[in-house]
Chain A
Amino acid sequence: MAKPAPVYILGGAQTDFARNWSKEGKHFVAMMREAVLGALEAQRIEPKEIQTAHVGNFAAELYAKQGHVGAFFVEIDPAFSGLPTSRHEAACASGSIAILAASAEIEAGRYDLACVTGVEQMKTVDSTTGGDYLGTAAWYEREAKGIEFPFPKLFGRLGDEYDKRFGLKDEHLAHISAVNYSNAKRNPNAQTRNWFMSESHAQQQSKFNTVIGGRIKVSDCSQVTDGGVALFLASEKFASQWAKRNNQSLNDIPRILGWGHHTAPLEFDAKVAESKDNPYVLPHTRQAILDAFRRAGVAGVEQLSGIETHDCFTTSEYMAIDHFGLSKPGESWKAVEGGVIELGGKCPINPSGGLIGAGHPVGATGVRQMLDCWRQIAHQAGEYQVEDAKTFAMLNIGGSGTTSCVFVVGK
């Protein structure tokens, strides 16, 4: 295949993930408006310049009893009337699927400027109902129906599988949690930036840190989050014009260098059965990472300045560490103990705070991860900037390791 046309990232904006939009009496379209109008203003792009819009959203039908989410993009600004829009869904990887669709359109030369938006309003319901809705990201009838908080239990079993194959100490999971919370304190949009967390709290099972399911305690979990994110993907033609009018060189604009995308069987048992003789617990996730590296021309994880990964639970970050190649399979704990994943470490993971610290508005998460990769490469990450960041990768997962999307971002 011929080398595809480059896809540039022109930055974007996100809402403060600490906000509770139900308490504010808001519909999710307000979240989309603020994110998109905020992004347009921040990046000095006119509404009429956008040619196509893609919205990532998991379950507005459940949380807000509203489908046809892509069409709400048109409601943001009068200039958007008539714009081609669509909505994309792959559970927690919905945002990445929206990015894949938008970037494919840019590569194909159909459009020069796409707006990718991710949006999820989750605080419309209590946590038990929300947990049940999230269960539809698994095979609901078989894995979630009638089970309280099915997802912590599924990702607890990911930890159990590591324990069975290689051994796993909960203290390493506690350290992962503490690092994410600590990073989030540097992120002005992180949901938990003013919350208390310490490694010893994350290790203790206590009144305030109860077990949610299996080996997963409250401190191992990402958050229930309301959030909207918008970013712009552009062809070389638009990116050159945009760079010129902002007195930048095209070479300084971050690009999507490569992507990987694979889908595993839905049920967690089926995944584990499939991988029983594989060195990797989630081989399709591993393959998505390898594909993205290959397409980006990245030889391996040593070439990354950092990673934004999908830490819906500490176990999923533990998995990402060896799947990215920061350790041999099953030896993620070595990278955890060696300080590799911390800010200032060899390959910082989630300088933003990740899903545990920054928050996890499900359908917006992939877009937020890419925005944070852009911030790192454009050196716009403020207090959580990784020094001299050149190449970043992101891993966004839907379901119990079902849909895996990986992007490599660099210049």
Chain B
Amino acid sequence: MADKIQKVVILGANGTMGAGAGEVFAGAGFRVAMLAREHDKAEAGLKAAQSAARAEAVAERMEIGTYDHDLARTVAEADLIFESLAEELALKRHYLELVDRYRRDDAIVATGSSGLSIAEMARGRSDSFRKHFLGIHFFNPPNVIVGTEVIPGTETGPAIVKSTVGMLGARLGRKVIVTKDRPAFVGNRVGFKVLNEVAQLASERGVAYMDYLIGPHTGRAMAPLATVDLVGWDVHRAIVDNVHQNCEDEAHACFELPAFMERGIREGRLGDKTPEQGGFYKRQGGQTLALDPRTGSHGPLKKPAPIEFVEKMKSLNRVGKYAEAMAALREAKGADAELCRHVVLGYVSYGLSRVGEVAQIPRDVDTIMSFGFNWAPPTALVDLLGARVTIKMLSDLKLSVPTCLEQAASEGARMFTGGVLDYGRTLVG
């Protein structure tokens, strides 16, 4: 069981998430074996973990090794095997087969995949493996972002799920939700719906305008298109394509990758990790350039003309008057405000409509959006506007009204389970 875990093996310890997960486990006092294809790569993972921890001493709880030399031995000794290999099903299945061969019968096996099917990974493995296999989805960087999704497979033992959730919360300080095995799970499904929708809108309306209109004042630490640059366009595409191909829902069209991004990716434009090509933004000689989606080239970033209601929301958030800021969004007239409401209320609608489908309760959506994305929890936005007012706004915008919202409105109950001290940080001035 997860509460007995002492020894962890990381497969793919050289990747960003593998090294980050290794740091998180070692920081919590576990012994960690960092494995990669080659010794040098495993060592690079360990160095990355030291940088994340800002302490050389984190390595005192780590050993490094390669799949060829050390996988059989370390897996046989491990209480938890955490797979953080590249997001290729065949590759993962290959190594999970090896894990199945060498693991102890009671060892838990977790995949860190951000969206691949848990069932596909478990298929063909032993009974004991399937019973002990689940997804543990960390967000990047895991030592800073504590939101975590746990995804049981159909055959995962309930006690394994429960003890893993308990271990992640109590020993790793994670904010954990349990999700169904659906494409992109909860966080990326809801988050990338909004991010891709904003990218689509940027095709016509421009990058700087969209990031200004749907900026941090609407309940996010970072503007949407800057976020996509940070995540990487390739990762963005993998997530939205996965949902677009495998989910039919009310926002299906929002998951279609905009053509200019498709072209950009072909030309090697992947966001911050390709500084030469840039992304929505590009840094050049101390200057920030913005992409013109119509031409595919960057030009000087022009600050959009101030919009009255946006500036009002920012100044209200700045002094902590969050309900007043949301009221300003509600009351604002004109096309800018209508578009902003469409995206922000669209987030509330889409997020809370996932309850029952992939999330269990509204609080799960809140937890993962707040602690995985640093976005305002959808139910906190509902409470700030009022449930009945939110329903009216959704109807006016022709967006679907989530069942849990209708229920809250009929009961006259508040939806968010915390208070201002829990959501205030997400509403930026």
Contact = CB atoms under 8 A, between A and B. Distances in A.
Contacts of A204: 56-57
Given A16-B421, A34-B421, A26 B55 contact: no
Contact of B319 (A30, A185, A193): A30
B23 interface: yes
Contact of B419 (A23, A32, A42): A42
Interface of B: 23, 26-27, 50, 53-58, 60, 143-144, 146, 173, 216, 221, 314, 317-321, 419-421, 424-425, 428-429
A196 to B, nearest CB: 4
Contacts of A198: 55, 57-58, 60
Given A75-B319, A201-B55, A201-B57, A27 B429 contact: yes
A202 to B, nearest CB: 9
10 contacts: A24-B429, A25-B216, A196-B23, A198-B57, A198-B60, A200-B60, A201-B58, A204-B57, A207-B56, A208-B56
A50 to B, nearest CB: 17
A37 B56 contact: no
B320 A29 contact: yes
- Among the interface residues B54, B55, B58, B60, which one has the most CB atoms of the partner chain A within 10 A? B55
Nearest to B170: A383
Contact of A24 (B57, B143, B144, B425): B425
A15 B421 contact: yes
A29 B321 CA distance: 10
Contacts of A231: none
Given A185-B173, A196-B58, A26 B421 contact: no
Contact of B320 (A34, A185, A193): A34
A33 interface: yes
A41 interface: yes
Interface of A: 13-16, 19, 23-27, 29-35, 37-38, 41-42, 75, 185, 193-198, 200-201, 204, 206-209
Nearest to B316: A30
Contacts of B23: 196
Contact of B421 (A38, A75, A209): A38
A396 to B, nearest CB: 23
B320 A41 contact: no
Given A24-B429, A196-B54, A198-B60, A30 B216 contact: no
A29 B319 CA distance: 6
Contacts of B56: 201, 204, 206-208
Given A16-B421, A30-B424, A209 B319 contact: no
A196 B53 contact: yes
Given A30-B429, A198-B57, A200-B57, A25 B317 contact: yes
Contacts of A33: 319-321, 420
A19 B425 contact: yes
Given A27-B318, A196-B27, A208 B54 contact: yes
A86 to B, nearest CB: 21
B28 to A, nearest CB: 8
